[in-house]
Amino acid sequence: MTDYQNKTDESTRLLPATAESLALAASLLHRGDLVAFPTETVYGLGADALNPEAVRSIFAAKGRPADNPLIVHIHDRDQLEQLCDIPPKADLLMDAFWPGPLTILFPRKNTVPDVVTAGLPTVAIRMPSHPVAAAMLKASGLPVAAPSANLSGRPSPTTAQHVLEDMDGRIPLILDGGPCDVGLESTVVDLCHGQPVILRPGGITKEMLESALHAPVTVAGSVLRPLEPGEKALSPGMRYKHYAPKGTVTLIDGNEDSVVPALKQHCLQDLKNGRRSCVLCFSEHVSALKACNPHDMGSIHDHAEIAHRLFDILRQLDEEGMESVYSEVIPPEGVGLAVMNRLGRAAAFRIIHA
């Protein structure tokens, strides 16, 4: 077991997924070491979920607060028996969405170390569909606890290069599987407390869950607003300043005719005052905003593409040293809810109505 606490000297290998690198990943996991791997949502930083020391080294490598629980990744439903009980209706969701970007909370068994669940009575589990994730899980045969493979506080990594930026020298291996498909973290759903609740929106939408469950699904109130003082986060990760670039992000809401001029006015004013400033806008508005360092979020009609690009753009803003950022918004429906949850947090829910 390696001590990752103050480590910056170990060289990190970035390897394409081959039979050889997958076997190396499996042996590192069995030894209690960490491996970063691609999933269809974002890159994960994995350790043997049943080895508390190995799981502790995830928190050290990321600088992650110990009260923020991890998701356990499996490749076969037979692995559930060892980890948890299965609440009514969970089968409907597993049948419909596994393997895929849906995390389900289950009542945990004692085999799951406290460090994985941050002491909560539930354990979050998902079965990823990415072929490299599935192959690594199968090769190791282990349930693998994995949060996103970024330093705590940075946007989740959606390419192997993002992982290397954050984890170089801190972990022995990154498996490169190219850019992640969804680009936002998994949907987290709680079936353990009566009516199903989405704790964190993602690529599997409320509408998709309702159609699989034949029942209404609610969305946790804190998804589209900041937590109130003293309010308990149902999804502990929501407590943290996860998605915020260093600059000030402001959202601009309104109709198409008013938003573009407002973006331009605010950004140009800041540029005039000597601030590094830019706009995040739809592809359709890039040319109208060419004086404002436009960052193309994707077409107004393609919310999945906007989700796919968002974290890469948030990382770029820091690289460019942006001090103020003005962004368009999309309706919080379908995958738009997940986009607005992340973008809203990046903006600390600062919004101007144009």
For Mg ion, the binding residues (CB under 5 A) are: 147-148
Query: Nearest Cα to 48, choosing from 28, 20, 69?
Result: 28
- What's the rounded Cα separation, in Å, for the pair 25 and 338? 31
Q: Which of ligand AMP, Mg ion, none binds 105 (CB below 5-8 Å, type-dependent)?
A: ligand AMP
In the complex with ligand AMP, which residue's Cβ is closer, 48 or 328?
48
Of the pair 129, 283, the CB lying nearest ligand AMP is at 129
| Residue with the CB atom nearest ligand AMP in the bound state | 237
Q: How far is the CB of 147 from Mg ion (least distance, A)?
A: 5
Return the sign of the alpha-carbon dihedral for residues 318, 321, 323, 326: negative
Q: How far is the CB of 300 from ligand AMP (least distance, A)?
A: 27
DSSP 283: G
| Shortest distance, position 200 Cβ to ligand AMP, whole Å | 6
For binding to ligand AMP (CB under 6 A), which residues are involved?
68-71, 105, 117, 120, 122-124, 147-148, 185, 188, 199-200, 235-238
Query: Which of these, 173, 205, 175, lies nearest to 189 by C-alpha position?
Result: 205
Among residues 161, 352, 163, the alpha carbon closest in space to that of 265 is found at 352
Beta carbon of residue 150, minimum distance to ligand AMP (angstroms, whole number): 8
| Residues 321, 325, 328, 329, CA torsion sign | positive
Token pair of 261 as six digits: 């001029």
The distance of closest approach from Cβ of residue 83 to ligand AMP in the complex, given in angstroms and rounded to an integer, is 12
Query: Among ligand AMP, Mg ion, none, what binds residue 127 when CB lies within 5 to 8 Å by partner kind?
Result: none
Q: Which is nearer to ligand AMP, 116 or 280 (CB)?
A: 116
The structure tokens listed for 308 are 């796919």
Identify whether the C-beta of residue 173 lies closer than 8 Å to the C-beta of residue 163. Answer: no
- Find which of Mg ion, ligand AMP, none residue 187 binds, CB within 5 to 8 Å per kind: none
